[in-house]
Structure 1
Amino acid sequence: MFNHLALGGGSALCGALATIVAIVSSSTASAQSNSGVTLPPVTVTAPKSSQPKPKRATRSAAQSNQAPRRARVPAQVAVPATVPASLMVATAQQALREIQQTPGGVALVTADAYKNSTVANTIKDVLDYVPGVFVQPKWGDDTRLSIRGSSLSRNFHLRGVQLYMDGIPINTADGYGDFQEIDPTAYKYVEVFKGGNALRFGANSLGGAINFVTPTGRDPHINGASVDFGAFGYRRLQANAGGTNGPWDGFVTASTQAAEGFRDHSFGQSTRVSGNVGYQFSPDFETRFYLNANEVRQRIPGTVTKMSALTSPQTAAPGNIALDQQRNIDTVRIGNKTTMRFDDTTVEFGAFGVDRHLMHPIFQWLDYHYLDYGGFARVTDDRVIGGFRNRLIAGVNLLDGSIDNQQFANLGGQKGALLSSSIDRSQNTSVYVEDSFYFLPNVAAVAGTQFLYATRDRQDRFLSDGDQSGRTEFNLWSPKGGLLWQIDPTWQAYANVSRSAEVPSFGESANGPGIPTIPFTSILPQTATTYEIGTRGKRPDFTWELTAYHAQIRNELLCLYSAFGNCNVTNADRTMHQGIEAGTGVALFKNVITRGDRPDKIWLNLAYTLSDFRFDNDPVFGNNLLPGAPRHFVRAELLYKHPSGFYFGPNLEWVPQAYYVDSANTLTTEPYAIYGLKAGFDNDGPYSAYIEARNIANKAYIASASIIDRATPNSPLFEPGTGRAVYAGFKVRW
């Protein structure tokens, strides 16, 4: 469908995109910056019936980039003439207002929260302070990600959270995802939708969805470059450029990085390119084309025993070295999105295609070629009906794909004899609708539903070990309902009940000596009913989020059997997930040294997640705790911030209680606390710099763990965290 990204293709592709941007930016103009702004209070108060309908000119002004800036505005940065904002790619303020019309757990992370003050190497650096999100590094760019206990038994890749890039799926059509295609330097903000709150994407999983949004040529100060370097041979170069020319605009960003890695056999390198070109037919009609390409080469150090992880954390698993285990990915992703606005109604539609080649020598040499494609359409109607505000959202998502699946013997990292071969096809069609009716000016009743039709079809082409062909079909409804109360312009409360459904991927099955054979066609979809209640708000020196949830799950995809030390994922009967997600940002002290309209301050960022996941009267495991996630997880940062742009302070990551790694609850990790320190300069001007030290005490700890049904002290399930490391970086923008 598309040509694979060849070894030198990243540079050529970057050059082609840069040429496009150079053309469209010949008369560049940018809107006033929203980067680094203090987001305004979120107000979703419904208009009263006596209020006049806003005129078109007023509406366009409300969607411009002219948002209030922080008090410190550097004189050396010129503010160029204003250009129309993108109709389809919201500013951070607009995106925050949109996402917080959801009566449930959501979050928006702006680029200025991490891009200029940390190495921003993995998705952990982006999502570290989002409560409810457990995200821990494994090796290279690979990460263990779980939201509200999703994907606990997925020891490889990702399941249970749907990833998107500008609304285009990163996950494959059968549901699994990877993190190697995510470049934290490329995005203007990241949207997090927890659980059933991801209905707008047709998300069908317990964990929800994450959408990474890239800038456009209409964003301010869109040109820039950065360099980062640090421990264990880490180095990265990144550059971005963009601009406008009349109705045209374009943006491109590219990065190349490499690292020797903390552990043996963990060298990796990658080149990533993202870009888009947009055309505005009018202020109410815009189309945009997207391109993303990635080339990743990564050695895998593997999981080791608990003793090895804590006493010799840099040591790789011997089998990984002997088989030269790797995960190498080439990806090309293209898409188009078009938005049209008609007074109170906005229509969005688009299409996309993804060509992905996975070259993955592990216990066997996996050679998978993915072709995924699809489309989407969404309508939003926001108007006053009979004196009451009503907001209706409806849409459809199509995601189909095929996997040319071949597995060979792994002969020291080289392909041996063919051992299996199949064509795996997936089809997913979701239709959804959600209506928010403001029966009071500041209280909305929200109701919606999603219908998912999905199929999984395998055509076995290697029949010497029997015919593994088969087909499954799923028809699933996921209703939801809730309340959203705007207590005052800066304070919201919400509650909802939602159902989610997760269709199994081709990787779920069980077979091996001494365990029942369960083909993928026998695996049932995982369904959950989640109850949640919470509040969030933003005051000038205080922000908060507090959510409590309880999920009853049927047929959770869990590890109930094992063979050769590997987890076989099948359905548990009943399980329960519940927890508390709490986050805050608060100025503990002001006017410490500098007083006046622009005082200095000592600012605390805190994210706390309580997770209580357990079996519910399981015939084998009773009411045991589910393995794979800590009960308590704390991330905190205390920063001194000076109005000149200088900042410094310590940070903490704390897991105060060990957690189980097996369903039988016989083996645990170890509790840990690691400390860091960072300092830097960022005054919203053309230059910023940082230096950051991590794990200053050089503590040996377990960052993440694979799970199994029954473990022994010698089970190789543990991934050591990185030792003491120092990173530094410098960025320039204009």
Structure 2
Amino acid sequence: MSVIMKKIKLGKSANLLSLGLSVLAIPTHALASHATSVETVIVIGPKSGLRTIAGSGSTVEQQDLLRARVVSVNEALRQVPGIYARDEEGLGLRPNIGMRGLSPTRSTKILLLEDGLPLSFAPYGDNATYYHPPIRRFARIEVLKGASQIRFGPNTVGGVINYVTPPAPETFQGQVGFAFGSDGYKETDLNLGGPIGEMRALFHANATQSDGVRDHQALKINDLYLKIERSLGATHDLTFRLSRYQEDSQITYSGLTTAEYLANARQNPFVNDGFKAIRYGTSLLWSWTISQDVILKTSGSFSWFDRDWWRQSSNSGQRPNDASDPICLGMANLLTTCGNEGRLREYHTYGLETRLSHKAALGAVQLESEMGLRYSDERQNRLQVNSDTPTGRTPGTSLNAGVRENNLRYVQAWSGFLTTKASLGPLAISPGVRLEHIDLRRVNRLNPLAPVQGKDTVEEVIPGIGITYRLGPKFIAYAGGHKGFSPPRVEDTINNTTGASINLDAETSTNWEVGLRGDVRPGVSMDITWFSMDFENQIIPTSVAGGVGATLTSAGATLHQGIEASLRGSFADMGLMEGGRDLYVRSAVTLVDEARFQGTRFSNVAGFGSRPVTGNRLPYAPRWLINLAVGYVFGTAGDMQVEYVRTGEMFTDDLNSVAPSADGQRGLIKAADNWNMTFNLHPQNWPFGAYIAIKNATDARTIVDRSRGILPGAPRQVQVGITKPF
């Protein structure tokens, strides 16, 4: 079987995309351009929108991104309370984002959006993040964690992260940037936009490469993004987006054993492993302002994601041996006679969604309602091809080689929601409900003469309610509760060999929160939230429970409780500094006081299945997360910032083992303290701006993950860049 034939096209791609776009087609007669920004799907909107949201939320503004000179989305999200963003390869290409003590592995508990539309390649059938656009594409980030997140779905257990791209400019303008640094870091970034006839366009291009945080880990990505906005008279807006992402990385999937880590913390024995990915995405959003109080927004979207990950090991417990690779004969022959595995994946994702918002009054009560309906179609084509040689890319002929997996997986989902906000004076009550109907299908094609097929259906009603009370012009109290829901993956609900339903229940929880948010005084803002997530059935990867597989398992009943808080202050906004000078501080603190197994629960660690773990702490749930930054602005000349990041200690298995295991997958991860420094220079008489960023300034040696073996944290990194606006 040739790798060229590795994927059978799933069909209907062009037809479904054409159907979605034809539904959105708008007559182009009587065109007229106006200067107002076109409408988008609103998640939070401007930062001031946080004053009216019935639940916890945060934003990371463009100024925050520039002052910290973040390289990855992980660096940006650490500024948000409640978020644990775990590093992997150094550029955030496969971010691992957890919220409030939830597992960060592959960001499966998080719903990722771009401009309010799904960013993940399979949010229903396989919500794992193996791709992420460069952070430079975005102008700001919105994070929503309360009951308001049921407007989006399907994942409502953790929260929503919405990446917001800048609007297309109304006058021609642009900026080019170049950066280089330690560990082979190089980056070129271009933003360009302006009017084109009746339209406005924005083009972004980014090329980034790095040697990564381990040996033999060359990373290289190229990302292109185009946004076109067009106003059709005073009541119709169109936004078209098109993107292309490509990655070619020499990266392994496996971490290190304890012995390997102690010998050389940054080694990578698997020099022939490689990851190649390409993604095309497109969407069209039509906004129709029917009246001053009624707006209809309809979108069609499509993405195609193809990735091939060839590797000789998937975790530190899988080292070449006679049983798994009879022609290998051990690690000594890793680069000569040992074979490899090709995990080959292709995803087609389609979406069609419409949202209607309406404002009205019922006596003294002001009503703001929104309802929506969405159809999603996901198709996965999955192969595992085992080759006979380290660099082989075709099926081998030896024992355990050849095609080991050949799966088609389908998901079709209908969802709808209705929310209403009723305001009377300082009080606002926001009830809502979301409905999910998901049809899943799996086809095992290993035997083409007798394929094994299976189907399953998941349905869920997701209610929620939020309450706000205005304590002052810029200060509110809020409370809310909602049902958390995360659908099971196709592979976790349908057996591959029999086609029978495995009956792995959907992940559900009851989420509560109470908080205060607003301006304590001019120039000083705060937000503090108590949260509780009570899971009936939390799903966790077996690898973080001490196993070596990639399948999921039920952790049963679990409880998460804690407090998250942020505080910001600016001497300039307080009126204490003038002339463009400013001394500012921002902080985000999270205490996950409880993250424990409840009920009768026994260990998932091999050989310890009879040991009870009830009351033990969940894996990868650090108790403390702290982000503190202090900066000084030198008028128009520039600014500097010092940032402190602390990640508390965490267990890596359900036994809460402290001593490291031989394979490195178990054992306590100690608390990590990192210091970052940034200097930005942009004097008025300079034709360009410049910056220098020092990450992990003390060169602290840390471990960030043990789920597939030990992964080291990034060493000290220095990056220098220049930017030229035009």
> Under TM normalisation by the shorter chain, which class is it?
0.7 to 0.9
Aligned to 2:8: none
Aligned to 1:124: 74
| Shift in Å, 1:307 | 6.3
- Determine the C-alpha separation between the residues in 1 that align with 2:623 and 2:449: 43
Going from structure 1 to structure 2, the CA distance change for 1:507 and 1:698 (only over 3 Å counts) comes to farther
Secondary structure of the 1:223 match is strand
1:249 aligns with 2:200: yes
Aligned to 1:58: none
Aligned to 1:331: 279
| Shift in Å, 1:699 | 1.4
Going from structure 1 to structure 2, the CA distance change for 1:257 and 1:400 (only over 3 Å counts) comes to same
Letter in 1 for 2:649: A
Going from structure 1 to structure 2, the CA distance change for 1:564 and 1:136 (only over 3 Å counts) comes to closer
| Shift in Å, 1:350 | 1.0
Aligned to 2:317: none
Residue by residue, what CA displacement relative to the aligned partner does 1:469-518 show, whole Å, maximum 9, x if unpaired? Answer: 32221110110112112222221211001112110113547999xxxx99
- Determine the C-alpha separation between the residues in 1 that align with 2:573 and 2:161: 35
Aligned to 1:260: 211
Going from structure 1 to structure 2, the CA distance change for 1:504 and 1:93 (only over 3 Å counts) comes to closer
Residue by residue, what CA displacement relative to the aligned partner does 1:267-321 show, whole Å, maximum 9, x if unpaired? Answer: 11010011111210123210111101100112224322456557733112x3x33
Alpha carbons 1:119, 1:729 under 8 Å: kept: no
Aligned to 1:223: 174
Counterpart mapping for 1:361-510 below 5 A: 361-362=310-311, 363=314, 364-410=341-387, 411-415=389-393, 416=395, 417-438=402-423, 440-463=424-447, 469-508=453-492
Letter in 2 for 1:104: G
1:578 aligns with 2:555: no
Secondary structure of the 2:528 match is strand
Larger RCO (CA under 8 A, 6+ residues apart): 1
- Determine the C-alpha separation between the residues in 1 that align with 2:501 and 2:190: 44
1:167 aligns with 2:159: no
Residue by residue, what CA displacement relative to the aligned partner does 1:371-398 show, whole Å, maximum 9, x if unpaired? Answer: 1101111111123221221110111122
Going from structure 1 to structure 2, the CA distance change for 1:105 and 1:537 (only over 3 Å counts) comes to same
| Shift in Å, 1:580 | 1.3
Letter in 2 for 1:164: L
Of 487, 496, 503 in structure 2, the residue corresponding to residue 522 of structure 1 is 503
Going from structure 1 to structure 2, the CA distance change for 1:520 and 1:92 (only over 3 Å counts) comes to closer
Secondary structure of the 1:486 match is strand
Residue by residue, what CA displacement relative to the aligned partner does 1:518-552 show, whole Å, maximum 9, x if unpaired? Answer: 98732110001101011221353212221110011
Alpha carbons 2:495, 2:501 under 8 Å: kept: no
Secondary structure of the 2:656 match is coil
Letter in 1 for 2:635: P
Aligned to 1:709: none
Aligned to 2:588: 607
- Determine the C-alpha separation between the residues in 1 that align with 2:493 and 2:239: 41
Going from structure 1 to structure 2, the CA distance change for 1:351 and 1:518 (only over 3 Å counts) comes to closer
- Determine the C-alpha separation between the residues in 2 that align with 1:649 and 1:214: 25
RMSD after superposition: 3.0
Aligned to 1:56: none
Going from structure 1 to structure 2, the CA distance change for 1:681 and 1:88 (only over 3 Å counts) comes to same
Going from structure 1 to structure 2, the CA distance change for 1:649 and 1:495 (only over 3 Å counts) comes to same
Residue by residue, what CA displacement relative to the aligned partner does 1:114-134 show, whole Å, maximum 9, x if unpaired? Answer: 1x3344321112212100111
| Shift in Å, 1:704 | 3.3
- Determine the C-alpha separation between the residues in 1 that align with 2:480 and 2:261: 42
Secondary structure of the 1:633 match is strand
Residue by residue, what CA displacement relative to the aligned partner does 1:41-77 show, whole Å, maximum 9, x if unpaired? Answer: xxxxxxxxxxxxxxxxxxxxxxxxxxxxxxxxxxxxx
Aligned to 1:668: 668
| Shift in Å, 1:644 | 2.3
- Determine the C-alpha separation between the residues in 1 that align with 2:295 and 2:204: 29
Going from structure 1 to structure 2, the CA distance change for 1:281 and 1:224 (only over 3 Å counts) comes to same
Going from structure 1 to structure 2, the CA distance change for 1:509 and 1:430 (only over 3 Å counts) comes to closer
Counterpart mapping for 1:513-592 below 5 A: 521-538=502-519, 539-559=521-541, 565-587=548-570
Going from structure 1 to structure 2, the CA distance change for 1:552 and 1:310 (only over 3 Å counts) comes to farther
Aligned to 2:101: 149
Going from structure 1 to structure 2, the CA distance change for 1:588 and 1:654 (only over 3 Å counts) comes to farther
Residue by residue, what CA displacement relative to the aligned partner does 1:595-647 show, whole Å, maximum 9, x if unpaired? Answer: 76436332111111112311012331211100012110111111122222422
Aligned to 1:296: 247
Secondary structure of the 1:149 match is coil
1:136 aligns with 2:114: no
Aligned to 1:639: 631
1:703 aligns with 2:681: no
Identity of matched residues, %: 19
Going from structure 1 to structure 2, the CA distance change for 1:227 and 1:639 (only over 3 Å counts) comes to same
Going from structure 1 to structure 2, the CA distance change for 1:478 and 1:227 (only over 3 Å counts) comes to same
Going from structure 1 to structure 2, the CA distance change for 1:448 and 1:233 (only over 3 Å counts) comes to same
- Determine the C-alpha separation between the residues in 2 that align with 1:392 and 1:110: 27
Alpha carbons 1:309, 1:700 under 8 Å: kept: no
- Determine the C-alpha separation between the residues in 1 that align with 2:503 and 2:43: 44
Alpha carbons 2:410, 2:442 under 8 Å: kept: yes
Going from structure 1 to structure 2, the CA distance change for 1:208 and 1:460 (only over 3 Å counts) comes to same
- Determine the C-alpha separation between the residues in 2 that align with 1:720 and 1:216: 38
Counterpart mapping for 1:34-45 below 5 A: none
Letter in 2 for 1:144: N
Secondary structure of the 2:54 match is coil
Aligned to 2:641: 649
Alpha carbons 1:427, 1:456 under 8 Å: kept: yes
Going from structure 1 to structure 2, the CA distance change for 1:649 and 1:337 (only over 3 Å counts) comes to closer
Alpha carbons 1:575, 1:615 under 8 Å: kept: yes
For structure 2, list consecutive stretches of 5 or more residues without a partner in the other structure. 1-32, 315-340, 396-401, 603-612, 658-666
Number of residue-to-residue matches in the alignment: 629
Give TM-score, length-normalised by structure 1: 0.80
For structure 1, list consecutive stretches of 5 or more residues without a partner in the other structure. 1-81, 707-715
